Amino acid sequence: MTHEEHHAAKTLGIGKAIAVLTSGGDAQGMNAAVRAVVRVGIFTGARVFFVHEGYQGLVDGGDHIREATWESVSMMLQLGGTVIGSARCKDFREREGRLRAAYNLVKRGITNLCVIGGDGSLTGADTFRSEWSDLLNDLQKAGKITDEEATKSSYLNIVGLVGSIDNDFCGTDMTIGTDSALHRIIEIVDAITTTAQSHQRTFVLEVMGRHCGYLALVTSLSCGADWVFIPECPPDDDWEEHLCRRLSETRTRGSRLNIIIVAEGAIDKNGKSITSEDIKNLVVKRLGYDTRVTVLGHVQRGGTPSAFDRILGSRMGVEAVMALLEGTPDTPACVVSLSGNQAVRLPLMECVQVTKDVTKAMDEKKFDEAMKLRGRSFMNNWEVYKLLAHVRPPVSKSGSHTVAVMNVGAPAAGMNAAVRSTVRIGLIQGNRVLVVHDGFEGLAKGQIEEAGWSYVGGWTGQGGSKLGTKRTLPKKSFEQISANITKFNIQGLVIIGGFEAYTGGLELMEGRKQFDELCIPFVVIPATVSNNVPGSDFSIGADTALNTICTTCDRIKQSAAGTKRRVFIIETMGGYCGYLATMAGLAAGADAAYIFEEPFTIRDLQANVEHLVQKMKTTVKRGLVLRNEKCNENYTTDFIFNLYSEEGKGIFDSRKNVLGHMQQGGSPTPFDRNFATKMGAKAMNWMSGKIKESYRNGRIFANTPDSGCVLGMRKRALVFQPVTELKDQTDFEHRIPKEQWWLKLRPILKILAKYEIDLDTSDHAHLEHINRKRSGEAAV
C-alpha cells in the first residue's frame, strides 16, 4: 500500500454514513466489534449509527437508530453479549418490513450496513441488498422519498461479521464468541472434574450446537473426554457396546471419572437424536456407574469475552469498515473472517451456501461430505480426538522405538497438555515413551523414567510444567547427555519449551559433529508465554497469559473508572518480545503499549501524556498504559510512572502495577489445551516417520538439517522447519524473531485509542473465494 493510499484512510469516510447492528443469538465479543466499527468509522471521517435491537430497530426506526460518538463505546470491550441489543425479527422477513427499513436508512443518508450475527442474519442482509433498488423505486412512487434522496442512496453496501458461539459458519476459522463459549464450558468441566473424582462418577455434559459439533469436539479434546457425540459424525451402529467398553477400560486403567460430551444436536446414523438422558440411562443400566447429567445451556453465551474474541472482534470491525468504504455497486456483499491469523474477505453468499450445504448433507445422511465441508481444521480436530479416545495402545512393544519427551525454559500453561498427547500418541503407535524431568539438566543427570498411558492422565487442564523445567542449555553437558541417550536407548527427542528449547536444539545440531549419539531426530514444540520462538506465529501458553493480563486490566479499569482521573501503568512480561503488551493492549483497550520492537523517544512519551490530558476533558476519565518489561532500559516502569505523575499533576494521578509471575501460572485456556494437544500429536507422528527414515545398519543415525525441526504455526498451517534454517530469522541478542506478524496490528491499537495516525493496512484482505480456500486451509 502506498503512502498516499493510507493517508486516504483518514478521509475515506467523509460524507458517508455507516449503520451497525447485532442480530440473532448474542455472542461474547460482539461489543468489541461494534466498538471497532464505531471508532474506525469516525477515524475515517464517516458518521456511524447504532441500530438498537437488531433488524427490529432497522424496521421501527425512530429512536432505535442513533448516532454514535467516540465516547459512547467506551468500557464496552469487556462486556459480554451485545450492548445495542439483538432481537429475532419477523417484520424484516416480510417485504413490507424491509421497505420500512430502507426508508429509515435513506432518510438518514446511510448507505453502508455492517451486520454482526449468525448465518440467518447475514442471509437476510443479502436479500435486503439485492432488493434495494426495487425498494427505492417503491418508496419514490409512493412519494415517501425524493428523487434526490434516491440518487444519493442509489446502492447499499453490506459487510457481515459472524457472531455465533457455535462456530458453525463455513469460511471462517473462528466466529466471534466461540472462544469465549469454550472458556465457559471448560471452567465448568474443570469444576465438575474435581467432584467426579471424589465420588468416582460419570458425567454427561451437554453443550450447545444444534447443527454443529465444534464446541463439543474442541471441549472433548481440551478435557480429554472419553467420548463425544456430534451431529456431523454419528457413531457406528454398535456404539452402545463400544461406549460401555471404553468407559470400563478407562476405569480399569485407574481413572476415577468418565466424561462424555454431547452436542445438543447429536444423532445416530439414522438421524434419530441421542440425548444426554439416553446416554445416562445406558451407562446406569449396563455398567451401574453413578452417572450425572449437566446441561450447560445459556451459560455458554454469558460472561466476559476472552482475549481472543476481543482481538478477533476488534480486527474484524476494522476490516469491515475498510470493506464498506472501499465497496462499489459491483462488489458483492462480503463477510470479513479469519483464516489462520489473517483477516480475509469472502463473498457472503458463497459462505452461506456452503453452510447450508453442510446441513443438507447431514439431512441426506452424507456425513463424510458434511465433515469435509466443515473444513480441514474441523477434520484435524476429529482425527486427533479419534486417535486419543478410540484407539487402544498395542500390548506388545516389538519393533517399537524409544522417544523421550522434555520441557525446557520457563513454565507455560499448556505444556502438560502437549506432554500428554505426545506420550499417548507415542504409545498408540507402539513406541516406548520416556519422560525427562528438569529439562536438559535432567537429561544429563539421568532423571528419566518410562511413562505409561495413565502417567499423563488428567494433565490437559493442569497449568505449569509437571515434568519440571529448567533454562539450562545442553552444550556443557554433551558427554553426560550422550551417555544417557545410549544408556536409555533414546532414538528421538520431543522438546517442549521456549526460546531455550530452540537454542538448545541449535546446540544439539552443532554437537552432532563431535557426538554420534546426538544424531537422533528431535522436534521443538514452542511453549512460552512470551511467544518469541522463531518459526511459529503462536506458542503454547501465550493465550493463557494474555487472558490473565486481560482480566487484571479489566479490574484495574473498573477501579480507575470509579476513582476518575486516574492513569494506570502496567508492566507485562515477554522479555524483549512485545507480543503480550500489544495484544493485551488491544484486548483491554489500552491508551498506549510500549514495546522494544517499536522504539520510542521522550517526545512519544510527551505525546502520550498530552493525549491523556485531553482524554481527561471528555467523559472517559481514566487511562491504561502497558509497558513490556524490557522495552527500554532507561525508560523503566518507574521512570514512566514518575514522568506521568509529574506531568499529570492536578489533571490525573498515576498508579503502577507490575504483573510478574502470575502471567506464567493458571489453568490453560481452551486454545492452549487444544493447540498443545494437536501440536503434540503432530510432532509424534512426524517423529515416528523420521526415526524410520533414519534407520542405518540396525541403528538410528540422523544427520540431515531436516531431522531437527521446530513445529510452528505459520499463517494457515502447522509446518516443520529445520532449526538451522531459522537461524537467519533470529535476533539472538534480544531472543526474538526478526519478523513478527502481530506488529501489523499496532496501528489498530492506536486508532482505537484515538491517535491521529496513518492506518497502514498493508496487510490488506482481498476478496477470496471460499472453495479455493478449502484446500489450503489452516490445519490447526
Burial of 603 from C-beta contacts in 10 A (0-12 / 13-18 / 19+): exposed
422 and 466 Cβ atoms separated by less than 8 Å: no
What is the Cβ-side half-sphere exposure of residue 254, based on CA atoms within 13 angstroms? Answer: 7
Give me the residues paired with residue 345 across strands: 336, 767
HEC string of 645-698 equals HHHCCCCCEEEEEECHHHHHCCCCCHHHHHHHHHHHHHHHHHHHHHHHHCEECC
* 735 labeled binding residue: yes
* 299 labeled binding residue: yes
* 88 labeled binding residue: yes
Task: Return the C-alpha torsion angle 716, 720, 723, 724, nearest 10.
Answer: -100
Residue tagged 442482509 (cell numbers) = 125
C-alpha cell at 117: 450475527
184 and 138 Cβ atoms separated by less than 8 Å: no
* 528 labeled binding residue: yes
Amino acid at 147: D
C-alpha cell at 262: 454431547
* 119 labeled binding residue: yes
* 209 labeled binding residue: yes
* 622 labeled binding residue: no
Q: Phi-psi region for residue 672, left (φ > 0), alpha (ψ -120 to 50) or beta?
A: alpha
* 39 labeled binding residue: no
Neighbouring residues of 137: CB distance < 8 A, sequence distance ≥ 6 = none
* 432 labeled binding residue: no
Which of 274, 273, 280 lies closest to 203 in space, CA to CA?
280
* 573 labeled binding residue: yes
Helix/strand/coil for 27? coil
Geometric angle at alpha carbon 40, from 35 and 45, rounded to 5°: 130
Where b means 16+ CB within 10 Å and e means fewer, 71-90 reads ebbbbbbbbbbbbbbbeebe
* 446 labeled binding residue: no
C-alpha cell at 309: 474474541
Which DSSP string do the residues of 73-93 spell out, in sequence order?
Answer: GTT-TT--S-TT-----SGGG
Q: Phi-psi region for residue 297, left (φ > 0), alpha (ψ -120 to 50) or beta?
A: left
* 109 labeled binding residue: no
* 655 labeled binding residue: yes
Q: Quick count: other Cβ atoms within 10 Å of Cβ 477?
A: 17
Active site members: 166
* 264 labeled binding residue: yes
Helix/strand/coil for 160? strand
* 118 labeled binding residue: yes
* 164 labeled binding residue: yes
361 and 367 Cβ atoms separated by less than 8 Å: yes
* 662 labeled binding residue: yes
Residue tagged 426508508 (cell numbers) = 103
CA distances from 401 to 118, 456, 678 (A): 48, 19, 21
Within 615-735, strands assigned E span 622-628, 653-658, 695-696, 699-700, 708-714, 717-722, 730-731
* 566 labeled binding residue: yes
* 177 labeled binding residue: no
Where b means 16+ CB within 10 Å and e means fewer, 13-37 reads beebbbbbbbbbbbbbbbbbbbbbb
Helix or strand run (H / E) with residue 434: strand 432-436
Geometric angle at alpha carbon 623, from 617 and 629, rounded to 5°: 150
* 699 labeled binding residue: no
* 558 labeled binding residue: no
* 532 labeled binding residue: yes
Geometric angle at alpha carbon 23, from 56 and 44, rounded to 5°: 100
As a whole number of angstroms, the distance between CA 759 and CA 5 comes to 9
C-alpha cell at 579: 507480543
As a whole number of angstroms, the distance between CA 134 and CA 130 comes to 9
* 300 labeled binding residue: yes
* 531 labeled binding residue: yes
Q: How far apart are the first and last CA of the chain?
A: 30
Per the annotation, where are the binding residues for Mg(2+)? 119
Per the annotation, where are the binding residues for substrate? 164-166, 201, 208-210, 264, 292, 298-301
Per the annotation, where are the binding residues for beta-D-fructose 2,6-bisphosphate? 471, 528-532, 566, 573-575, 629, 655, 661-664, 735
Per the annotation, where are the binding residues for ATP? 25, 88-89, 118-121
Per the annotation, where are the binding residues? 25, 88-89, 118-121, 164-166, 201, 208-210, 264, 292, 298-301, 471, 528-532, 566, 573-575, 629, 655, 661-664, 735
